[in-house]
Amino acid sequence: MAVTTQPVQTERPATGRVTATGTRVTRWLAVACWLGAGWLLLAGLVLSPPDVVQGDSVRIMYAHVPSAWIAYLAFVVTAVSSAAYLWPRTRSLTWDRIAGASAEVGVLFMGITLVTGMLWGRITWGVFWQWDPRLTTTAFLFVTFAGYLAVRGLGGSHEQRARRSAILGLLAVVEIPLVHFSVVLWRSLHQEASVLNPNGDVQLDGFMLFTLFTGVLVFTLFYLWLVLHRQRVLWLQDHHDDSGLDEALSARRAEEGTP
Amino acid sequence: MWRVARLVAAKDLRIEWRSRVVTNQVVPFAVLVLVMFAFALDVESVLQRVAPGLVWLAVMFSQFFLVQRAFAVETSDGALDALRVAGVDPAGVFLGKALALMAQLASLVILLLVGAVLLYRAEIRADGLVLLVTAACSATAGLAAVGTLYGGLTAGAKGRETLLPLLLAPVVAPVLIAAARATEAALGTAGTALGDGWPWVGVLATFAVAFGVVGTVAFGPLIEE
Amino acid sequence: MDAAVELCDAVAVLGSYPALAGADLTVRRGEIVLLQGPNGAGKTTLLRVCAGLVPLARGRASVLGLDVAAHRDAVRARVGLLGHANGLYQELTVRENVDFWAATAGAGTDEVASVLERLGLDGRLADVAVSRLSAGQRRRTALACLVARRAEVWLLDEPHAGLDAAGRDRLDETLTAAAAAGATVLLASHELDRATRLATRVVEVVAGTVRQPS
State which of A245-249, B43-47, B48-52 shows the largest mean pLDDT. B48-52
Predicted local confidence at residue B219, as pLDDT: 93
Q: Are B225 and A156 a contacting pair at CB < 8 A?
A: yes
Report the residue from B160, B174, B221 with minimal CB separation from A178.
B174
Q: Give me the residues of chain A with pLDDT under 50, please.
A: 1-15, 193-197, 258-259
Whole-angstrom CA distances from C15 to A92, B82, B225, C21, C40 are: 20, 21, 11, 14, 15
Share of chain B above pLDDT 70, in %: 98
Predicted local confidence at residue C197, as pLDDT: 84
Shortest CA distance to C42 belongs to which of C23, C15, C60, C16?
C23
Report the residue from A140, A151, A156 with minimal CB separation from B170.
A140
Predicted-complex ipTM score:
0.87
Instruction: Give dist(CA A40, CA A47) in Å, integer.
Output: 10
Q: Are C77 and B87 a contacting pair at CB < 8 A?
A: yes
Predicted local confidence at residue A202, as pLDDT: 63
Predicted local confidence at residue B158, as pLDDT: 59
Predicted local confidence at residue A169, as pLDDT: 93
Tell me if C157 sits within 8 A of C84, measured CB to CB: yes
Torsion angle, alpha carbons of B193, B196, B197, B199, to 10: 170
Q: Are A245 and C207 a contacting pair at CB < 8 A?
A: no
Q: Does C207 touch chain B (CB under 8 A)?
A: no
For residue A27, give every residue at least 6 positions away whose Cβ sits within 8 Å of its Cβ, in sequence order, or none: none
Share of chain B above pLDDT 90, in %: 57
Instruction: Give dist(CA B216, CA B141) in Å, integer.
Output: 13
- Give the side-chain half-sphere CA count within 13 A for A75: 26
Chains with 3 or more CB pairs closer than 8 angstroms to A?
B, C
SS3 B109: helix
- Which residues in chain B are contacts of A160 at CB distance < 8 A? 224-225
Largest CA distance in chain C: 49
pLDDT in tens, B165-183: 989 999 999 999 999 999 9
Instruction: Over range B180-194, report the average pLDDT.
Output: 84
Shortest CA distance to A127 belongs to which of A193, A45, A205, A222?
A193
Shortest CA distance to C153 belongs to which of C82, C205, C210?
C82
Predicted local confidence at residue A6, as pLDDT: 37
Torsion angle, alpha carbons of B145, B147, B152, B157, to 10: 180
Give the mean pLDDT of chain B.
89
Predicted local confidence at residue A194, as pLDDT: 42
Q: Does C128 touch chain B (CB under 8 A)?
A: no
- Which residues in chain C are contacts of B225 at CB distance < 8 A? 53-55
DSSP structure string for A36-76: HHHHHHHIIIIISPPBTTTBGGGGGHHHHHHHHHHHHHHHH
3-state secondary structure A133-192: HHHHHHHHHHHHHHHHHHHHCCCCCHHHHHHHHHHHHHHHHHHHHHHHHHHHHHHHCCCC
Q: How far apart are the first and last CA of chain C?
A: 13
Q: Are C101 and B76 a contacting pair at CB < 8 A?
A: no
Residue of C nearest to A156 (CA): C15
Q: Does A150 touch chain B (CB under 8 A)?
A: yes
Q: Are C18 and A245 a contacting pair at CB < 8 A?
A: yes
CB atoms within 10 A of CB A210: 14
Q: Which of C75, C82, C89 best probes binding to B when mutated, by most B CB atoms within 10 angstroms? A: C89
Predicted local confidence at residue A10, as pLDDT: 36
Q: Give me the residues of chain C with pLDDT under 70, please.
A: 1-2, 213-214
Q: Are B210 and A178 a contacting pair at CB < 8 A?
A: yes
Q: Are A174 and B211 a contacting pair at CB < 8 A?
A: yes
Q: Are A147 and B166 a contacting pair at CB < 8 A?
A: yes
Residues of A within an 8 Å Cβ radius of C: 1, 3-6, 8-9, 155-157, 159, 241, 244-245, 248-249, 252-256
**Would you list the domain boundaries of chain B?**
2-224
Predicted local confidence at residue B190, as pLDDT: 75
> CA torsion sign, B160 to B163 to B167 to B172?
positive
- Which residues in chain A are contacts of C206 at CB distance < 8 A? 255-256
Shortest CA distance to B55 belongs to which of B191, B180, B140?
B180
Report the residue from A3, A156, A244 with minimal CB separation from C209.
A3
Distance from CA of C191 to the nearest CA of B (A): 24
Torsion angle, alpha carbons of B13, B19, B21, B23, to 10: 80
Whole-angstrom CA distances from A105 to A75, A225, A226, B87, C156 are: 10, 10, 7, 39, 47
Predicted local confidence at residue B23, as pLDDT: 82
What residue type is assigned to position B177 of the chain?
Answer: I
For residue A61, give every residue at least 6 positions away whose Cβ sits within 8 Å of its Cβ, in sequence order, or none: A120, A202, A212
Residue of C nearest to B10 (CA): C100
Helical ranges in chain C per DSSP H: 43-50, 72-78, 94-104, 109-118, 135-147, 165-180, 192-198
Shortest CA distance to A199 belongs to which of A142, A117, A109?
A117
CB atoms within 10 A of CB C65: 12
The residues facing C93 across adjacent strands are: C129
DSSP annotation of B17: H
Which residue did the predictor score with more confidence, B33 or A196? B33
Predicted local confidence at residue A35, as pLDDT: 87
The residues facing C21 across adjacent strands are: C11
**Would you list the domain boundaries of chain A?**
27-40+59-240
How do beta strands C58-63 and C66-67 pair? antiparallel
